Amino acid sequence: CRRAGIEIHERDITLSEMYNADGVFATGTMGELTPVVEIDGRIIAHQHPFMLDILALFKKEIRSFCQRIE
């Protein structure tokens, strides 16, 4: 996001904030960037244009952070 000029903030958030977010994703080494579509039986928005932009940016940029193993 920073390289693309998108402002980001890392902080703890409440469960209520997650329920009402325009998008939620989980990240990890193997899962990369995975949209969260449901929390506690509540549907979470995952087709918001900003969320789709972030996912596309991740897919485009992730390889630049990888190191080739030979």
Is residue 27 predicted with pLDDT exceeding 90? no
Give the residue among 69, 55, 39 at the shortest CA–CA distance from 47: 55
Percent residues over pLDDT 90 in the chain: 27
Report the alpha-carbon angle 9-13-18, nearest 5. Answer: 105
Q: Three-class SS of residue 64?
A: helix
Query: What pLDDT, on a 0 to 100 scale, did the predictor assign at position 69?
Result: 85
67, two tokens: 């190191």
Q: How far apart are CA 12 and CA 69, in angstroms?
A: 35
User: pLDDT tens-digit profile of 31-47?
Assistant: 788 889 999 999 988 88
pTM of the predicted structure, to 2 decimals: 0.68
